[in-house]
Amino acid sequence: MSNQRIKTPCVGLCSTVYGDVVCRGCKRFHHEVINWNSYNEDEKRAVWTRLEVLLVQVMTAKVEVFDEQRLRAQLEQRQIRFVPQQSPYCWAYQLIARGARVINQLEAYGMVLLPEFRNWALPELRDAIDREFFLLSEAHYERYIAPKFLREGLELRV
């Protein structure tokens, strides 16, 4: 596995350039994508933490990681990049995102699907996880970020 530290949540599928307020690739907000390189470490950590919390929420509703060491070893062996400091449920997402079409037995990777998802094909589950992660990010934006921008816009006019 590459020893290079992952420096940004970007996955190379940016949709903010097309006008999305939440990137469909990395799930960051448009202003976070634009300003990322000017953020200090605390600001970057806050974004990483929010993304992790939302992704873990989605993943724990669909999979159980029962062997973190096995999952990590499989990721390293298959050279799938992941952030070691993040939850193993984020690692599980990376595995499913990269290997959905070739994985036959998740148990070999230290994880299982929860009963209500055991009949799902992994590519279908991957797409559902990605959609739900995006919707949660969008809801977070609408609830906590958009109102602030609206207030700031009103204050400027007064």
Secondary structure letter of residue 111 according to DSSP:
E
Question: For residue 138, is pLDDT > 90?
Answer: yes
Tell me: pLDDT of 148 over 50.
yes
pLDDT tens readout for residues 4-40: 467 889 887 887 777 789 999 999 999 999 999 999 9
pLDDT at site 158: 47
Contacts of 84 (CB under 8 A, 6+ apart): 72
**Pick from 6-10, 60-64, 78-82, 94-98: least confident:** 6-10
Please spell the DSSP secondary structure of 28-79, one letter per residue.
-BHHHHHHGGG--HHHHHHHHHHHHHHHHHHHHTTEEE--HHHHHHHHHHTT
- What residues contact 56, with CB distance under 8 A and at least 6 apart? 87, 89, 90
What is residue 149's predicted lDDT score, i.e. its pLDDT? Answer: 60
pLDDT in the model for residue 152: 63
> In the 8-state DSSP scheme, what is residue 6?
P
Name the least confident of 17-31, 75-89, 91-105, 123-137: 17-31
pTM (two decimals)? 0.88
